[in-house]
């Protein structure tokens, strides 16, 4: 199937017109590549990358390449079409006692997208990125060549594809190792931090926890700068293995952009922070609200209005953590921008994948509605992140400069060499890759 339609990322900015191919079977993927012409193409799953990384004039949508191909109940090894969603995997395998080894903040992404972004979760400090658990992938580099890539076969292409934003070919299938669990529930502990210094101390104190994440008030100032609620969790052992809930609310219309302003966000943040009245609260929750709180509201991106938004996520090394986070939070608070959604996590060591985002340190992600004065603010934040030796997450990015990218991703030239070696440079390209000087 083929359509000409307007498409956009989860941030709903920018909106472009594209020729979208929707193959129903694997042979249809090859045909779509054959018919692409010379302009470059990119694959797309459910459109959950925030910016322009899955946007191109010619798009191959992979959501129907979603079959379960093999599974071992003894080892938890599963082979799936790249278009299968994490939601589908959870629905099938949680009742059987298996869970995703790493999961981002939404379950509505494809396995191919998870590999292309080398997604991380609340357990990176212990478990690393998603691709640590990928044994191999099938990668279409041209209509006549499908390669099986792993750490031992075509390893250069494997490490370029994991985190490579779809620029090395089309991922057809993924061989993934699942994680055994004995419950669908999480034993959660919520800790209240009065400021960013206390929040970072709590992360260190709880570094042995499997999962950790903090909601942070990005508009608080003075002695309350960076006040946070830190949530840590462990899988329960109660042997209750129940699937996901089918019930969710929906955001039916675009929210007026003017409703999201400094005063409404400050009010929300104050109420949300003070809903926890003790220094420590323990409870038991299903995995869905723990890992995917925003999935309970369909189309929540409409909250930011018809002009859309961008999620800005950066990481800075741990040695720069307290000083760097304090300086950056002061800049954000002074701007009066930001939103009610700001998430702080700690990362473990970086991996061998050439464009993978995490490095040992602290990462902050927060939403900004698209409005006048935003991009100059983000340029200033970019400069601070670079000064501290950090980088911006490509899956969330929609406006980073080529200079910033090439300064903060030191393996980009090796990445380009591998693309040229396998003949995929310029064949697979996105609006983002052109903006960043990878396909000019």
Can you give the residue ranges of every domain in the chain? 68-181, 185-405
Q: Could you read off the pLDDT of 129-165 as tens digits, one per residue?
A: 999 999 999 999 999 999 999 999 999 999 999 999 9
Tell me if residue 344 falls in helix, strand or coil. Answer: strand
More confident call, 365 vs 253:
365
pLDDT reported for residue 36? 87
DSSP-derived pairing of the beta strands 2-7 and 58-61: unpaired
> For the segment 225-252, what is each residue's pLDDT rounded down to a tens digit?
999 999 999 999 999 998 777 667 888 8
Domains 68-181 and 185-405 share a fold: no
Phi-psi region of 146 (alpha: psi -120 to 50; beta: other; left: phi over 0): beta
Q: Which two tokens stand for residue 317?
A: 């090394």
Instruction: Note the pLDDT of residue 246.
Output: 66
Domain at 68-181: CATH code: 3.30.465.10
Is 174 a residue whose pLDDT tops 70?
yes
Judge whether residue 409 has pLDDT over 70. yes
Please determine, looking at this structure, whether the domain spanning 185-405 carries the CATH number 3.50.50.60: no
State mean pLDDT over 73-77. 97
The strand order across the sheet containing 134-142 reads 68-71, 77-81, 170-177, 134-142, 145-150
Compute the Cα dihedral for 157, 161, 167, 172 and give only its sign: positive
- pTM, whole model, 2 decimals? 0.96
Q: What share of the chain is helix, strand, coil (3-state, %, to 5)?
A: 30, 25, 40
Predicted local confidence at residue 111, as pLDDT: 98
| 3-state secondary structure string across 307-326 | CCEEEEEEEEEHHHHHHHHH
Helices 196-205 and 321-335 cross at an angle (nearest 10°) of 140
For residue 393, CA distances in Å to 163, 310, 405 come to 10, 12, 10
């Amino acid at each position: 199937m083929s359509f000409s339609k307007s498409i956009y990322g989860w941030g709903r900015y920018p909106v472009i017109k594209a020729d979208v191919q929707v193959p129903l079977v694997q042979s249809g993927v090859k045909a779509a590549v054959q018919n692409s012409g010379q302009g470059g193409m990119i694959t797309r799953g459910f459109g959950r990358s925030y910016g322009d990384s899955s946007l191109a004039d010619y798009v191959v949508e992979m959501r129907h390449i979603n079959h379960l191909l093999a599974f071992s109940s003894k080892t938890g090894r599963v082979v799936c079409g790249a278009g299968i969603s994490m939601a589908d995997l959870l629905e099938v395998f949680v009742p059987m006692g298996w869970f995703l080894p790493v999961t981002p903040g939404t379950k509505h992404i494809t396995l191919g997208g998870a590999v292309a972004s080398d997604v991380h979760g609340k357990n990176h400090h212990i478990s690393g990125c998603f691709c640590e658990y990928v044994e191999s992938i099938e990668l279409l580099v041209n209509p006549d060549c499908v390669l099986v890539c792993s750490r031992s076969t075509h390893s250069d292409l494997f490490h370029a594809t994991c985190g490579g934003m779809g620029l090395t070919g089309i991922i057809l299938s993924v061989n993934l190792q699942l994680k055994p669990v004995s419950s669908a529930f999480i034993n959660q502990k919520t800790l209240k931090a009065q400021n960013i210094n206390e929040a970072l101390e709590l992360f260190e104190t709880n570094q042995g926890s499997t999962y950790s994440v903090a909601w942070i008030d990005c508009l608080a100032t003075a002695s309350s700068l960076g006040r946070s609620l830190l949530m840590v969790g462990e899988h329960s052992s109660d042997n209750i293995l129940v699937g996901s809930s089918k019930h969710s609310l929906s955001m039916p219309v675009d929210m007026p952009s003017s409703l999201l302003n400094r005063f409404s966000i400050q009010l929300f943040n104050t109420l949300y922070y003070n809903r926890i009245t003790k220094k420590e609260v323990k409870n038991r929750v299903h995995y869905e609200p723990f890992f995917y709180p925003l999935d309970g509201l369909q189309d929540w991106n409409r909250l930011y209005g018809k002009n859309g938004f961008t999620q800005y996520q950066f990481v800075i090394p741990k040695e720069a953590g307290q000083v760097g986070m304090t300086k950056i939070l002061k800049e954000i608070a002074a701007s009066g921008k930001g939103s009610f959604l700001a998430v702080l996590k700690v990362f473990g060591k970086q991996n061998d994948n050439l464009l993978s985002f995490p490095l040992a340190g602290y990462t902050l992600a927060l939403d900004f509605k698209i409005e006048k004065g935003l991009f100059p603010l983000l340029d200033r934040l970019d400069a601070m992140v670079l000064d501290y030796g950090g980088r911006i997450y490509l899956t969330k990015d929609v406006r980073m400069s080529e200079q910033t990218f090439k300064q903060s991703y030191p393996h980009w030239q090796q990445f380009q060499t591998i693309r040229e070696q396998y003949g995929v440079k310029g064949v697979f390209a996105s609006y983002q890759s052109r903006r960043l000087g990878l396909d000019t």
